[in-house]
C-alpha cells in the first residue's frame, strides 16, 4: 500500500535525465562511404541522412531543400544516369544507424550524404561502411571525421579547422595592418568543437607574432560576465569568439553592458543570423566580423552559382532561406555530383574513392566559390571561407578575402 518513492529520488533522477539531454545536442559532423557499380544509364539513388525532426529539424529540412535544388539545377542526372533523392531522419547515433540500414536495405541507395550533425555522420558512416556504401559528407564539421582512416568516407565541406584557419588568416592578413596592436583575446565555447577551433587559432596567431590571451565559456551559459571581464582585463585589440548564435549573442550583449569595446570583434562559425542582429541591436553589432558559411549572393564573380540558387529557392519555396544551410547543401550536392561524374557514373566504394581523387575543380568552380580536390583522407582541400561584416542596416557584405568583396564595400574598423 505504501510504496512511496521519495520525491527526492525522482527529482535527482529527473535532473540527471535533463542533464543528459542538455549535453546531447550541438551540431558538427562526420562519416564513411561505400557503394556499388552501375551501368551506363542505370539510375542512381542518393540517400540523405539528416535531422528532420527535433531541435535541428529545420536545419535538416533546409539541407534537403538545398540538395534538391542543386539536383534540379543539374537536370536530375549525372551523365546519362537519372538521379533521385531519398531522405531519412537521423540525429543521434542510433537514429542514424537505423536510417542507413533502411536506406540501404529497403531503398537500395547507392550513395549516402548529409548530415548537418557530427553524431549522425560519425555513426551513420560507420554503418554504411559495413554495408559497403560510400558516404559523401557535405556539412558536418568535426575535424576527426576525416581522420578515421575510413576509406569509404569523403567530405566536400569545411572542417572546424577550416573555420579556425580562416579566422586566424583574416586576423593576420586582413586586420593586422588596421588594428593598433597585434593583440587578441580568444574565447571559445568549451565543447570539443570550440576547443579544437581555439587551439588552431592560438597556434597560428602565436606563430604570426600576435600577443594571445585565452578564455572559454559554456555554450549553454546563462551568464557570461566572467568571460567578458576576463577579456576586458586583457585589453586586446581584437576579441575573437567561437560558439553558437545564442551564446555569441549573450557575449555581445554583456560586452556592451560592461562597456568592453575592443577595436574589432570577430565571430567564428556563427553570429550571422538575423536573430543576433535583432537581439544585440544595430548600435552594438555594427562592425562586428563573422567568419562563416556565406551565401555570397551579391558576389557573382566570386561565387558564381549563388544568385541562381537564391532565385530557385525563392521560386520553389516562396520564402527566404533559413540561414546559410541550404546554400551550403546546394554546393555540397553539386560536389557530390562532380565526384560521381569523375567516377564515371559508377557508385561502388572503390570507383567513388578513385573518382574523388581524380576530381579537380579549381577555386570558384563550385556554386559558392569553393573548388574541389579530395586528399587521401577524403577531405576537400579547396575550401575558402569568407569574412562578412555587420552593417547598421542588418546586411552582411563580404569583406575578406578581397576578391570576394563586392564593389563599394571594404574592410573597415567600426
Partner 1 sequence: MGVLTIIISGVLVGGMYALIAIGLNAVFGVVRVVNFAHGELVVLGMYTAYFAWTVWSVDPYITAVLIALPLGFLVGLVIQRFVVQRLLDEPLMQMFATFGLLMLLQNLFLAFTRGEPKAVRVAASSASLDFFGVSVSVSRLVVLGAAIVVTIILVVFLRQTLYGAAVRAVSQDRGTAALMGINVKVLYMVAFGVSGAIALMAGALMSPIYTASPALGFSFVLPAFAVVVLGGLGSIGGSLIGGLIVGVVEALSGYFLDPALKQAVWFTLFLAVLVIRPAGLFGRAGSEEIGQR
The least distance separating partner 1 from the CB of residue 10, rounded to whole angstroms, comes to 5
Residue 45: name the closest of 4, 129, 3, 106 by CA.
Answer: 106
Q: How far apart are CA 123 and CA 131, in angstroms?
A: 13
Q: Is 150 in the site for partner 1 (CB under 8 A)?
A: no
Backbone angles phi, psi at 363, to 5 degrees: -50, 135
Q: How far apart are CA 383 and CA 404, in angstroms?
A: 13
Q: How far apart are CA 338 and CA 317, in angstroms?
A: 26
Figure out which of the listed residues 275, 381, 395, 402 binds partner 1, where binding follows CB under 8 A: 275
Figure out which of the listed residues 208, 256, 307, 363 binds partner 1, where binding follows CB under 8 A: 256
Place of cell 540558387: 309
Subset of 277-296 contacting partner 1 (CB under 8 A): 278-279, 281, 283-284
Q: Which stretches of 107-157 are DSSP H helices?
A: 118-130
Residue 380: name the closest of 26, 29, 47, 137 by CA.
Answer: 137
Figure out which of the listed residues 322, 354, 357, 413 binds partner 1, where binding follows CB under 8 A: 322
Figure out which of the listed residues 114, 213, 215, 305 binds partner 1, where binding follows CB under 8 A: 215
Q: Is 192 in the site for partner 1 (CB under 8 A)?
A: no
Figure out which of the listed residues 158, 231, 234, 250 binds partner 1, where binding follows CB under 8 A: 250
**CB count in 10 Å sphere of residue 333:** 30
Burial status of residue 105 (CB atoms within 10 A of its CB: 0-12, 13-18, 19 or more) = exposed
Q: Is 92 in the site for partner 1 (CB under 8 A)?
A: no
Q: Is 15 in the site for partner 1 (CB under 8 A)?
A: yes
The least distance separating partner 1 from the CB of residue 304, rounded to whole angstroms, comes to 28
Figure out which of the listed residues 84, 149, 203, 220 binds partner 1, where binding follows CB under 8 A: 220
Handedness of CA 103, 109, 115, 121 (dihedral sign): positive
The least distance separating partner 1 from the CB of residue 145, rounded to whole angstroms, comes to 24
Residues making contact with partner 1 (CB under 8 A) = 2, 4-8, 10-15, 17-19, 21-22, 25, 53-59, 190, 215-218, 220-227, 229-230, 233, 245-246, 249-250, 253, 256-259, 273-276, 278-279, 281, 283-284, 322
Amino acid at each position: 500500500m505504501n510504496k512511496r518513492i521519495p520525491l527526492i529520488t525522482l527529482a535527482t533522477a529527473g535532473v540527471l535525465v535533463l542533464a543528459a539531454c542538455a549535453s546531447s545536442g550541438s551540431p558538427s559532423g562526420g562519416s564513411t562511404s561505400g557503394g556499388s557499380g552501375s551501368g551506363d544509364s542505370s539510375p542512381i539513388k542518393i540517400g540523405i541522412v539528416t535531422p528532420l525532426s527535433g531541435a535541428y529539424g529545420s536545419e535538416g529540412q533546409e539541407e534537403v531543400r538545398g540538395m534538391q535544388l542543386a539536383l534540379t539545377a543539374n537536370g536530375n542526372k549525372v551523365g546519362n544516369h537519372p538521379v533521385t533523392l531519398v531522405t531519412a531522419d537521423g540525429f543521434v547515433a542510433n537514429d542514424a544507424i537505423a536510417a542507413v540500414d533502411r536506406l540501404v536495405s529497403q531503398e537500395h541507395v547507392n550513395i549516402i550524404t548529409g548530415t548537418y550533425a557530427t553524431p549522425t555522420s560519425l555513426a551513420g558512416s560507420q554503418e554504411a561502411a559495413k554495408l559497403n556504401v560510400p558516404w559523401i559528407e557535405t556539412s558536418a564539421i568535426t575535424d576527426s571525421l576525416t581522420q578515421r582512416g575510413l576509406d569509404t568516407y569523403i567530405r566536400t565541406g569545411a572542417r572546424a579547422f577550416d573555420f579556425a584557419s580562416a579566422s586566424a588568416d583574416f586576423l593576420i592578413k586582413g586586420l593586422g595592418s588596421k588594428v593598433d596592436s597585434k593583440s587578441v583575446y580568444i574565447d571559445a565555447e568549451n565543447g570539443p568543437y570550440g576547443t579544437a577551433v581555439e587551439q588552431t587559432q592560438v597556434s597560428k596567431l602565436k606563430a604570426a607574432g600576435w600577443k594571445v590571451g585565452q578564455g572559454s565559456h559554456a555554450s549553454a551559459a546563462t551568464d557570461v560576465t566572467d568571460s567578458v571581464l576576463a577579456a576586458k582585463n586583457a585589453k586586446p585589440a581584437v576579441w575573437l569568439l567561437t560558439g553558437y548564435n545564442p551564446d555569441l549573442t549573450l557575449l555581445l550583449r554583456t560586452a556592451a553592458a560592461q562597456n568592453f569595446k575592443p577595436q574589432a570583434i570577430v565571430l567564428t562559425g556563427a553570429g550571422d543570423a538575423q536573430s543576433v542582429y535583432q537581439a544585440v541591436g544595430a548600435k552594438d553589432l555594427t562592425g562586428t566580423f563573422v567568419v562563416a558559411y556565406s551565401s555570397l549572393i551579391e558576389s557573382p564573380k566570386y561565387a558564381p552559382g549563388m544568385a541562381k540558387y537564391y532565385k530557385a529557392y525563392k521560386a520553389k519555396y516562396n520564402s527566404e532561406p533559413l540561414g546559410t544551410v541550404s546554400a551550403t547543401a546546394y554546393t555540397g550536392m553539386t560536389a557530390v555530383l562532380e565526384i560521381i561524374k569523375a567516377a564515371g557514373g559508377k557508385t561502388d566504394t572503390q570507383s567513388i574513392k578513385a573518382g574523388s581523387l581524380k576530381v579537380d575543380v579549381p577555386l570558384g568552380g563550385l556554386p559558392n566559390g569553393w573548388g574541389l580536390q579530395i586528399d587521401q583522407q577524403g577531405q576537400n582541400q579547396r575550401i575558402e571561407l569568407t569574412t562578412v561584416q555587420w552593417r547598421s542596416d542588418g546586411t552582411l557584405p563580404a569583406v575578406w578575402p578581397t576578391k570576394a568583396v563586392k564593389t563599394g564595400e571594404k574592410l573597415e574598423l567600426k
